[in-house]
Amino acid sequence: MGLYKKKGATLSVGFTAGIGMEAEKGSTDLIAKVFGLLSPAADTSVLGADPSGIRAALKQSVEHSLTMSLNASCAAAIADESAFFYTVDLTSNQAETDAALNAAIAGNWTKISKLSNAKENKNVIGRMIANKHKIVVNVLGVYNYASIGEFISKCTVVHCPDDGSATITDVETARRITVASTPHQAAPDQLRHALSEAAISTAAYSFAKVGNASSLTSSQTLVIYRRGADARKLTKDLMPAVVLGLATRAQISAAVGGAPHKHALIQFEQKIEDVVAQQMFLNPATNQPWRQSELIPIGIGQLRAFLDPNDSEDKRRLEFLAHWPATQPPAPYVVDWLDITWWADAVANASAKYVAAKAAFDRIPAGADPSKAPDFMRARNDLAKALLNLSKNEHSAFTPGWPLAVMHWLARGQSACSVNASWDSSTQLQLSARSATA
């Protein structure tokens, strides 16, 4: 007995599990599950100013993420493809078998999956789990509050239609990454910019926000989903794997081939542990804080690695980058100039403040309370202001993957990176995260 997806069709998922406001132990409450990531003791009874909007945004994110994963696991690219397929022995266990078959005909396949006389040949839900696709939850702005409880009481949630992610954030940040007419839907470019800011900020706060903390991890994710993609486009989507050192161009070309593909889902993840983050703000050649003029060539070099000289648009971008900063950027390429200049300014400014805060911390006597040291608190507040200024720039249209690449470079190649890519119903690339200390 089987359920088939027709060739070329697209499945959609409706999420109807418990999404109430009660955070009871053992419940299926989506609110409690998500906010429990912030703190196991998170009190969601005082959740934000718009609980219904938060519930709707989380529901959209779960539905969107499950839909992407489901279609990637059952693409039906070249023919009708089974989503569920079981072989059932009808000579035994008759009462339970009849009930299970009737339930499956009605759309409930859970009973047949538990029959002792049924053999599972395919279950797309099991394949989704095996493929390890994730629902991405971002958190922005939490360091602006004295406690997790205060943050939760004043936060909101926005859903990104491009990648299905949910972002828990303070209201001010939400205004920057959404459009006024859709306050719970993120604008993808603005969201990418905010997440890049957050990666730099978290790396700095690994020392400065809580003194000698050793448990903060700066992380970024990139999720790309395409219902259909030709080989050239898919190869370009996978370029972060090459730039991050996870695969060679030859490996990517071999995996993609020359034919178009259906329902491609690509997930990149990067983590930078605090021990690595604390060396990111010094130029290893001088052991001094980074300067903007030193960072510009790095940003250019990492962007060039993503561009294809055989693509007419990329070729023009490469020509501009080859002559920058000697020539002014022509109108179509101002975005590249803004991206690189903003990033270099932000990192250089944070580097100087970070080094000052660390030096002030090092002067505190052993065992003393850092919060009682005026010099350290002033330096820490200066760093906080420098990081806050990252959010003043409203533009962004980052080349996908570029923020991962520049952070990997600053981490001296020691960020832990991984990629999981599926298309045409199969996992095509699943490269384990690199060791942050390798």
Instruction: Convert the pLDDT of each residue in 358-405 to its tens digit.
Output: 888 888 888 787 778 888 888 877 877 776 655 554 444 568 889 889
CA distances from 162 to 192, 349, 379 (A): 11, 31, 39
Encoded amino acid at 119, one letter: K
Q: What is the pLDDT of residue 76?
A: 43
Average pLDDT over residues 254-275: 88
Q: How far apart are CA 45 and CA 37, in angstroms?
A: 16
Query: Do 179 and 221 lie in a common domain?
Result: no
**Model pLDDT, residue 27:** 42
Tokens of 71: 């279609």
The answer to whether the Cα torsion of 338, 343, 348, 353 is positive or negative is positive
pLDDT band at 339 (very low <50, low <70, confident <90, very high): confident
What's the pLDDT tens digit per position in 204-223?
A: 655 544 444 444 567 788 88
Tokens at residue 429, please? 């690339």
What residues form DSSP beta bridges with 217? 273
Shared domain check, 349 and 276: yes
Residue 146: predicted pLDDT = 62
pLDDT band of residue 124 (cuts 50, 70, 90) is low
Residue the block writes with tokens 């021990």: 275
Locate 92 and state its tokens: 């035994």
Q: H or E stretch including 65?
A: helix 51-73
pLDDT bracket for residue 79 (50, 70, 90): very low
d(C-alpha 111, C-alpha 187), whole Å: 41
pLDDT band at 427 (very low <50, low <70, confident <90, very high): confident
Residue among 350, 362, 426 nearest 198 (CA): 350
Residue 75 has pLDDT above 60, yes or no: no
Tell me: do 233 and 377 sit in the same domain: yes
Angle at alpha carbon of residue 54, lines to 143 and 45, rounded to 5°: 75
Lowest mean pLDDT among 7-16, 99-108, 373-382: 7-16
Q: Which residues make beta-bridge pairs with 119?
A: 87
pLDDT value, residue 206: 58
- Overall domain count for the chain: 2
- Quick one: angle between helices 402-410 and 334-362, nearest 10? 30
Is residue 245 domain-shared with residue 302, that is, in the same domain? yes
Tokens of 25: 């132990």
Q: Are residues 126 and 252 both part of a single domain?
A: no
Q: Which of 125, 153, 186 is the last residue of a domain?
A: 186
The pLDDT value recorded for residue 283 is 92
Mark residue 93 as left, alpha or beta (left: phi above 0; alpha: psi -120 to 50; beta: remaining): left
Which residues fall within 8 angstroms of residue 362, CB to CB, at 6 or more apart?
A: none
List the domain range (segments joined by +) for residue 147: 1-186
Q: How confident is the model at residue 12 (pLDDT cuts 50, 70, 90)?
A: very low
pLDDT at 49: 67
Helix (H, G, I), strand (E, B) or coil at 221: strand
Backbone angles phi, psi at 294, to 5 degrees: -80, -30
Q: Which residue has the higher pLDDT, 423 or 388?
A: 423
| Same-domain status, 437 and 303 | yes
Asked whether the whole model's pTM tops 0.85, one would answer no
For residues 1 and 128, membership in a common domain is answered with yes
Q: What is the mean pLDDT of residues 314-343?
A: 80
CA distances from 14 to 17, 22, 28 (A): 9, 21, 16
Mean pLDDT of 241-263: 91
- Model pLDDT, residue 14: 46
**pLDDT at residue 396 in the model:** 46
Tell me if 433 sits within 8 A of 254, measured CB to CB: no
Whether 178 and 208 map to the same domain: the answer is no
pLDDT of amino acid 19: 36
- Do 244 and 302 meet the contact criterion of CB atoms below 8 Å apart? no
For 435, counting Cβ atoms within 10 Å of its Cβ (0-12 exposed, 13-18 middle, 19+ buried), the class is: exposed
* Domain match, 144 and 251 both: no
Query: Regarding beta strands 2-5 and 81-88, do their DSSP bridges make them parallel or antiparallel, or are they unpaired?
Result: antiparallel
Residues 258 and 388 in one domain: yes
Q: Are residues 173 and 257 in the same domain?
A: no
Tens digit of each residue's pLDDT (9 = 90 or more) over 194-204: 776 677 766 66
Q: Are 355 and 282 in contact (CB under 8 A)?
A: yes
